[in-house]
Every structure is written in structure tokens, then in C-alpha cells.
Chain A
Amino acid sequence: MAATGLSASSAVAADKVKVYASLGFEGNTWMDASLNLLKAISQTKGYKDRVELEVQSARGNAQTQIQQINGMVQAGAKVIVAWAISPTALNRAIRNACQKGVIFITWDAEVTEPCAYHVGINQDWAGAGPAEWLADELKGKGNIIFMGGIPGNMVDTRRNAAAKEVFAQFPDIKIVADTPSMWNAATAKQELAKIVATQGWDKIDGLWTQTGCYVFVELQVEAGRGDKLKPCAGNGTNGHRVAQLAPGSVPGGHGFRSASMGSPPWAAPFAFKLAMKKLDSGEDIPKFNEIPMPLVTPGQTVYCEKADLAELVAKDWACNAVPLTLAASNYYIDVWSPWVPELDLYSALEAKVPAGQ
């Protein structure tokens, strides 16, 4: 493999292991962070010289993702790391890939095809965990708003069902409005505004949501109720985590009583590493690789000034929020983990490889 001279470089490229990333969609900070982390991990010293990463996005079209997966297999892919648009639509394309010896691994969005590997959080707990916190916070009594994701989506259905199971154990907790957020912050805010228009703030005691605890805070501040924020359990962005901190302690701190969960973008580089491990060693890996779901409740927020590799290691990977000047309030901040100790915040922001990695 010790190639010398220019003429040999293309031959070396041909020898490299072809890894493809197949993205179901593109265009938000969560996917952007996942993709940057994938690029960064492929450039760390363990993989840089022997792996070639190519990226394709299907822009929300299942047909396109099927075609791209077929094309990747044909082009000699050894590993495909995918975020699937649909848990069922890609199944036959995936089975074809498996039969050709390709390691097919998904992160976050799972597929039902049994030959695929998966890295992700426990989606039932993603619904139930925040629900349990909210029920505790409300002492088992109160009116709540329930906001799911996209109706008809499998992850959405699982999270909602698990959360509703929790709430069903508390007869005094009443769901007064149940409406989807479409996993879209603007939709979430419009829907919340509509609900408040009919129910009024006084009747509402809390919110369980898959998107937009932060917009829940915004709405209350806009209505002049910033001093008595109602609790929220749901998806956590950097702004949400910072808002959990005491008012005045850091810019953006509101003392917000909330539980903040998330499906971490670092699942993508971890899926890459797992697949490469299987490819290198030939040892089998589990089909379902559950990663810990962050569930940050009041008092557990750890604010880190830089979140570079040195600080992350020094704080034993406990960081879960950064200054809003580093990552915007809508940034999904769970981008680092001791499970992927090569990468830090800047890998997610700019696909940078930390020094020495």
C-alpha cells in the first residue's frame, strides 16, 4: 500500500474501502451535524488512508433513496451508513445489498429489514422518559398539551404510544390538546399558539412534545409570562439546555423546569465505526445497538465554554450545553460522546478533526 508518485495515487484510491452515506433528507442542523461527524470520523487517523466516504441525499424521496442504494451497491460499496426515509420502502434494496455482502447500517431512523444493523436510542424510552419526568414534576396532576411528530411515522408512533402509556397511569393528568408538530419548529409554534388561543394559559400546566420546548418558552415570554414558565418535556436543543440554567448565570438562562431528550447526531459516526469494526475483524455485531439517550433534567445541565476535545475529556464527557455564541439555540447539541472519543463540537460544526486524531 505504500504508494509513491502521482501515477499510483489513483490506484490507491481504487484500493480504498468504499463507504457511502445515504441521507434521506438534507437541510437542517441535525442532519448537517451528523454528516459533518461522518466526514470527520472518516478523516481520523484510523481511517484516513484506507477509507473513501461518498455522500448522497435523496431529498425526501423514497424512490430516489432506493435507486441510490442500488447504485452504491453496484459501485462497489463495502459499507452503507444510512438515514432511511421510510422503515419499509428500502427493504428490498437493503436485502439486495446484504446479499452482495455490503454491511448496511442505519442510524436514528430504523428499517424493518432484518439484515440491516441499527444504531439508535430506545424510541419507547424517548417517549416514556420525558413523560415520567413531566408526571413527577406535575405531581401526577394537571392539564397537558401533547405534541407528536409526523403522523404515520414509525418513530413518532412509538414515542407517542409509550408516553401515553405513562400518562395513563396518572388519572389526574389530562391531555387537553393532542396535535402534531411535524418535527418542524415553525409548525410547533403555530400549533401551540392555536392551542393557547382556545385553552388559555391558565388551564395549561405543561407540555410533552417531540419538537419545540424552546418555542414553548418563547411563547410564554412573548405573552409576558416569562417569570412563571410552565414545565416542558421534550426534544432538547442547545437553547433549551441553556434555558434550564439559572437566570443571570449565563446568557439565555431562564431557570426553565424541563426534561430535554434527543436522538444524538453522534450515532452516525458511531454507526460508521461499528460497521468498519465488522468489516475489519469479520466478527459479527449486534443488529440493534442501543446508545444512551440523553435526558437532561434541571440541575443536570453542564455548561462548557468551548467543548473542544480537551475540555470534553477534562470534564469526563459530562458537557451537555455550550454558549449560544458557539451553537445556536436551535442546534441539537448532543454531538459528542465517549463512544466516539475522536470527535468534538467542531467536528460537528465544521467537520474538523481534533488535533492528534
Chain B
Amino acid sequence: MTTPALALALSLPRWGRQRGTLIAIAVLMVALLVLQAVSQSGITYFDISTISASASTLALAAMGETLVILSGGLDLSAGAIVSLVNVVLVTQLGQSTLGPEAFTLAALGLALGIGAAIGAINGALVAYVRLQSIIVTLGTMFLAQGAALLIMRFPGGTMPDHFSLMFTGDLIRDGLPAPIVVLLIALALWLYFRNTRHGTALYALGSDEDAARANGVDVRRAKFLTFTLAGTCYGAAGLFISAQMGGGDPLIGGRMLLQIFAAVVLGGTLIGGGRGGAVGTVFGALTLTTIVSIFLVLGVRTFYTPIVEGVILMLAVLGFSVGRHWPIVAVIRNLRRTLVALRNGSLPTRFKPIGAPLSFTGGTVPAALPNWLARSRATLRYALPAYGLFIVALALTIALNADNFSPLGYLNTLLTLGAFLAILGLGQGLVIISGGLDLSVPWTITFPAILVTTFANGVDASSAWAVPLALAAGLGIGFLNGSAIVLFGLSPIIVTLAMNGMLEGAALVFSGGAPIGSSPPWLVWFVTGRLGGLAPLGWFLLGFVVVATLVINRTAFGRRVTAIGNSVLVARLSGVRTGVQIVGVYMISGLCSAVVGLFLGGFTNQAYFGMGDPFLLSSIAVVVLGGALITGGRGHYLGIVGGALLFTGLGIMLSGTVLPEAVRNIIYGLVLLGAVIALRERSTG
């Protein structure tokens, strides 16, 4: 049988595997068609060249992120490495007198070398010290950002024109833009890599690490290589952006991270690993850039861009997963069955159980439970280091300010500022323990805060409905997050990322450009007033911690969440209604963010855009510092509270000094890395 039919039949499954990439291409085609339709002169060479130039930095960095995600990890250091490479190139080569060829070679070597070196550090810590990738890269992100600020304190410098033209000019005038060639070369290298043994190992690793190991893949080496290659990609992105800018800016990569995730996801790569590829990522980056051009031609207020981006992201991801066992199908089927059973009277709960429940006999029952210390040893081991480090920070603070340290003042600030992180830590912590991640924290803080200051506007009476409305908004956001994740089986990262963008747009539209109003006086008093020496929020925090600890560690709900984090399947087979629990977890996270939004609004007596931004990474950091496992299944709320105290205590210690921000970044990075190294599992590897 050598008929074309057979060939087609054989090739079909292969195409099925490439569906993500195909949809990514289709989405770009649709975007380009829209651009063609709305612009007067159609798509011109100019459009192609400007879109490819604008997309290249993003595409190169997102290719690196794709590698890490395919292997089952997550890399937060991408943007900071781009910044670092940019400032090193400008400071080391900007004044160089090398000829064009030598200059380009030197720049390439420097950029790719720095990227690979930091990637190798990430890789070594993840592969050989067995740390969680998200927290390692959070640490190196701080380190790289600090180093960038040390090397270049403010934007400046120049790169020679020949260098810029080489990467961003025309290879053939009005025929072939150089960025297209850059992207093609990167893609060729990727395709070559994918078909090597290392490429296969990468996919195997992301699909099932144990299976990969059992099949003879050197898992550690594969991980190390993945992060090193990813770092090289960020180096290439740093090189390209240096050419595009023709100068240096130590903050240039800072805001790239969420866009990088968006490009990867839009490219059809599955968060969690094993499926997807860098070809789709490049198309994803091109799509994001094309959307900017469409809005420019249409002259639409940019208010709507984040909403449209969020919607496109969600639609594309839904497209990737169409028919691929959407849980919503089973949910509807089960509902129908339940209805039928209800009508027939055959609902299982109506029957009495037959016989006595199984009793466990034959096993040896311990005479007495081991004492508390023995039972809690494991929990203490990962919850205590945060408190230990906090005490170190406290001791240093007292030593540095011996002559005028006021314990009550310190405690009040610690509790007030720590409360923001401790409350967020509950929501983010539950999400992480259940195996997810909530990236919608920034705008789930900001949007409810804007609702309250706008509607209550300094009047206590109006807050009677404005505050419940804002809290309901937080719950509603969480409900939408959780439902999308559960009903369509989507990755939490994508859903919450898209939600964050849509909320940003909604807040812009709602407030018409800039939020107005002020917080109701009672809320201001609650956060900044005094009640027995402390702010009422401080007392509230104490009660909050007790209640939250009991809920997480002493209720069936808390145990179910932990069970889900360990394995959704096992939890479900054990009778946990996993979907309902997960939606509940995201609703709690949404509520926690909204509460923090209200308190933060009370703290500053206003709401404004960006007020939630600093809390995304810090909410993740406190959870991990508190000993929770980022991959889920482990965590104690008291540990997370310790993480919040440590993060706040460290901030108080550093703020009272005259250290430059670069050094502070580096200290944060070292503390994070030190803490996770101390916390790492000492299991056999």
C-alpha cells in the first residue's frame, strides 16, 4: 500500500500534534487580514518591516521561555536578562572602535554569552540543586536587575548605526527586512535542535519527568541545557533590542514578562510542558504586534487594547483545546444524568448503604499518637526558616538603629504592611497549593479599589453598598477564573493572565482615563488609625491569621485543596468534587485581592492605576518563602505568614538605609535563593 491515502493517514496524527502551531498561524493570518481590510493602502512593505522589527525582541525572548515551559518549568528572569545584556553591550561596546564585522561578532559573543551564563546558573540550581524553577528565576531576576542598575545607573549611550542597520534595516531594500531573517535563523536553529536527542529529551521531560528518566533521559542534563539555551535566547533578544534602540536603558526589559507569556500561549505551547513549540511562539509574537498596528490604523482609544488582547488570548487557547476533553462536556452530561436520575428516583444518595462500612482491621494501631513535635516536624522544617530569617532581619534592624528603635512603631508598621502580603498570601497560597498560579492579582487589587473610591468617594454611608460591591467584584473575578480553568481545562496561568489584561482595560474604560474619588473615612481609619497603640488592621490581621490557619489546616476544604495539589486525579477518585473546590480556591484568591485593594485604597486614601503591580511577584515570593511548594500539594498558612513578615521586615530594614536600589535588588535575590536552598526537599534524587 503506497497510496497517497496511506501517506495522508500517516501524516494526519502528526498534523494533529501541530495543531497549536497551525492555529497560531491562522490567528496571525486573521489579524493580518483585518489589518489589510482596515488600512487604506492595504498591507505594505512598511507594515511588514515595522511589525517584524517590533516583534523580534519579544519573539526571541519568548522562544527562550517556550523552551523552559516545554520542559515543565517557568522562567521569570527573561526580562531582567534582556535589560542586563542591553546595558552591558552599550557600556562595553558603545565606544568601541572595532570595525563592523569585529564589532558584530563581539556583540554577538557578549550578548549570547551573558544570556547563556545566567541561564546556566538557573539551570544548575533547578537541575542539580533541585529547586523550583519559578523561585530560582525570581531570585535571578532580582540579581540581574540589580546588576543592570549597577552597570548603568540611567539610560544613555549609543550603539553604532552599522550595528543597528545590520539587525533592523533592510537586507534587500524594499524587499527583505533584516528582522525577518533574524527570526528565520532563530527558527532554523530551533527546528534543528528539536530533532536532536536533546530536543526529544525536552519534550519527554515536559510530558512526564519520571517516564523520561525511566527511558534513559539524563533529566538533570536536559534541564540544565534547557535553561542555558533559554538564557541564550534572552541574550539574543537583548542584542536585538540594543540594535533597535541604538542605546541603553537598564529598565527596558522590566515590563516584558507578561507579554512573553502571552506570546508563548498564543503560539499554542501548553503551560505545564510537553506540547507546543517555538514556531508557534514566533507567530504569537507577530500577532500581538499586528494588533497594535490594527489599533493604530483604526485610531481606537488604547483603553480597549488590553481587553481585546485578553479576549484573543482566551479564544486562541480555547481553539487549541477544542474537543480535547473539555470537562464542561462531562459536567453537562452529568447534570443531564442527575436530572434523569432525579425524575426516576434513582439518585444514588437516595439509597441506604448496604451492610456495614468497611472497617480497617489487621493493621497495627499505634498505642498513642506521637507527640506534637514529632507529628509537625515536616511542617516546621519548611515553615520555620522564614521566621528564623525574619528574626535575623529584625535583629539587624535593631542593631542598625539602636539609639531610636521604637518597638511599638516597628510592630505597627510590620503588621500594617505585612497584612497586605499576608492576606494576598492566603489567596495566592491556596491557589499555589492547589497546583495553580494567580497572575490576575494586580488588577484584582486595583479594580475593586477604583470601584470603592469612585462610588463611595469619601462618604461612609455610600460605602455600605460600594464595599460589598467591590468584594463581590473580587469574588466574581475569582469565579470567572476558576470556572474557565475547570470547565475548559485551561492552564491557570493563561486564564488569570488574560483576566488581568481584561481587568486593566475594564478599569481604564470605567474610569475614563484616571480614577477619581477617595476612600470612605472608616476605611482610612481602619488602616491608618490607632486602636490600643496599633492600627485596627493590625488587630484584624491577628484574627485573620487564626481563622485562615484553621480553615486551611483544620477543615476538609483545606485538606481537599492539598489533595488536589498533589494530584487532581487521585483527589477526584477519592471523592473530592475537584471542580467546585478549584473554583472556590480562585474565589478566595479574588476576594483576598479585593480586600487588599480596599485596604491599600484606605492606606493612601485614593485608588490609581498600577497600585496593584508591585504585589504580583511579592505575593508569589511570600508563599514560597513560607515553604509552600510551587508545584502544589504542600504548604501551611503560618509558614506563608512568616514569609510575609520576612518580606516586610527585610523591606523595613533596607528602607531605613542609604543603600542604592541595585544593591537592594541583589539582597532580595540572594535572600530568596538562600531561603529556597534552605527549604529544598532532601529526598533521594
Contact B302 A91 (CB under 8 A): no
Q: Which residues of A (199-220) have their CB < 8 Å from a CB of B?
A: 199-200, 202-203, 215, 218-219
Verify A35–B651 contact, CB threshold 8 A. Answer: no
Closest Cβ of chain B to A218, distance in Å, is 7
Q: Looking at the complex, which of A134-142, A146-154, A227-235, A272-280 is the stretch in contact with chain B? A: A146-154
The reply to whether A196 and B413 form a contact with Cβ atoms under 8 Å apart is yes
The yes or no answer to B360 lying at the interface (CB within 8 A) is no
Q: Does A112 contact B (CB under 8 A)?
A: yes
For B611, the chain A residues whose CB sits under 8 A away are: 184, 186
B306 and A86 contacting across the interface, CB-CB below 8 Å: no
Chain B, residues 642-675, CB within 8 Å of chain A (1/0): the string is 0000000001111111111110000000000000
Chain A residues near B53 (CB, 8 Å)?
Answer: 66-67
Number of chain A residues whose Cβ lies closer than 8 Å to a Cβ of chain B: 75
B169 nearest in chain A by CB position? A92
Structural contact, A177 and B608, CB atoms closer than 8 A? no
A89–B301 touching, CB < 8 Å: no
Contact indicator A28/B608 (Cβ below 8 Å)? yes
Given known A27-B609, A92-B168, A92-B246, contact A186–B603 (CB-CB < 8 A): yes
Q: How far is the CA of A179 from the CA of B651 in the complex (A)?
A: 10
Within the assembled complex, what's the spacing in Å between the Cα atoms of A66 and B52?
Answer: 12
- Segment from A53-61, A306-314, A334-342 that makes contact with B: A53-61
State whether A35 touches B656 (Cβ < 8 A). no
A240 to B420 Cα, complex, angstroms: 27
Evaluate whether A153 and B400 lie within 8 angstroms (CB atoms) in the complex, with A28-B514, A72-B296 already known. Answer: no
Q: Indicate if the CB atoms of B404 and A199 lie closer than 8 Å.
A: yes
**Quick check: B246 and A88 within 8 Å, CB to CB?**
yes
CA distance A347 to B473 in the complex (A): 33
From 90 to 114 in chain A, residues with beta carbon under 8 angstroms from any chain B beta carbon are: 90-92, 112
Given A112-B247, A222-B529, A194 contacting B513 (CB threshold 8 A): no
A194 in contact with B655 (CB, 8 Å):
yes
Which residues of A sit under 8 angstroms from B228, Cβ to Cβ?
Answer: none
Q: Would you call A194 and B652 a contact (CB within 8 A)?
A: yes
A193 to B250, CA, bound (A): 28
Q: Smallest CB–CB gap between B638 and chain A, Å?
A: 23
B296 and A200 contacting across the interface, CB-CB below 8 Å: no
| A75-B608 in contact (CB<8A) | no
Verify B58–A63 contact, CB threshold 8 A: yes
The yes or no answer to A124 lying at the interface (CB within 8 A) is no
Q: Tell me, yes or no, whether A29 is within 8 Å of chain B by CB.
A: yes
- The reply to whether A179 and B655 form a contact with Cβ atoms under 8 Å apart is yes
Q: Is B410 an interface residue (CB 8 A)?
A: yes
Question: In the docked arrangement, what's the CA distance between A60 and B256, Å?
Answer: 10
Cα separation A178 to B397 with both chains bound (whole Å): 15
For the complex, what is the distance from the CA of A199 to the CA of B397, rounded to whole Å?
10
Chain A nearest CB from B403 CB (Å) reads: 8
How far, in Å, is B56 (CB) from chain A's closest CB?
9
Q: Given A27-B513, A112-B156, A198-B397, A89 and B518 touching (CB < 8 A)?
A: no
B614 & A187 in contact (Cβ 8 Å cutoff): yes
Q: Is B299 an interface residue (CB 8 A)?
A: yes
- In the complex, which of the residues A32, A86, A197, A328 contacts B251, with contact meaning CB atoms closer than 8 Å? A86
| A67, B50: Cβ atoms closer than 8 Å | yes
Q: Which of A31, A91, A199 interacts with B246 by CB under 8 Å?
A: A91
**Across the two chains, which residue of chain B brings its CB closest to A204?**
B404
Q: Does A180 contact B (CB under 8 A)?
A: yes
Complex Cα distance, B613 from A184, in Å, reads: 11
Which of A32, A70, A202, A215 has the most chain B CB atoms closer than 10 A to its own CB? A70
> Which B residues are CB-close (under 8 A) to A92?
164, 168, 244-246
Chain B residue at minimal CB-CB distance from A55: B301
A174, chain B: closest CB distance, angstroms: 10
CA distance A221 to B382 in the complex (A): 41
Give the residues in chain A near B299, CB-CB below 8 Å. Answer: 54
- Asked if A200 and B54 make an inter-chain contact with CB atoms under 8 angstroms apart, the answer reads no
- Contact call B661/A151, Cβ cutoff below 8 A: yes
Question: B655 contacts which chain A residues (CB < 8 A)?
Answer: 177, 179, 191, 194-195, 198
Are A154 and B156 interface neighbours, CB within 8 A?
A: yes
Report yes or no: B404 in contact with A200, Cβ–Cβ below 8 A. Answer: yes
Contact A175 B658 (CB under 8 A): yes
The answer, yes or no, to whether B562 is at the interface (CB within 8 Å) is no
A206 to chain B, nearest CB (A): 16
C-alpha gap A328/B157 in the complex (Å): 40
* Given contact pairs A86-B245, A86-B251, A67 touches B293 in the complex (Cβ within 8 A): yes
In the complex, the answer to whether B252 meets A89 with C-beta atoms within 8 Å is yes
B153 nearest CB neighbor, chain A only? A157
Determine whether B42 belongs to the interface, using a CB cutoff of 8 Å to chain A: no
CB contacts under 8 Å to A, within B522-553, are 528-530
Q: Which residues of B contact A (CB under 8 A)?
A: 44, 46-47, 50-51, 53-54, 57-58, 148-149, 152-157, 164, 168, 241, 244-252, 255-256, 259, 289, 292-293, 295-297, 299, 301-302, 305-306, 397, 400-401, 403-406, 409-410, 412-414, 416-417, 508, 513-518, 528-530, 600, 603-606, 608-611, 614, 651-662
Instruction: Supply 18 A–B pairs (Cβ within 8 Å), ascending by A.
Output: A27-B513, A64-B54, A71-B296, A74-B44, A86-B245, A87-B156, A89-B244, A91-B246, A151-B660, A154-B155, A176-B656, A176-B658, A185-B608, A193-B416, A198-B652, A200-B401, A200-B404, A215-B604
Extra contacts besides A92-B244, A177-B655 (11): CB < 8 Å: A29-B608, A61-B255, A89-B252, A90-B245, A112-B247, A179-B655, A182-B614, A185-B604, A194-B652, A197-B406, A198-B652
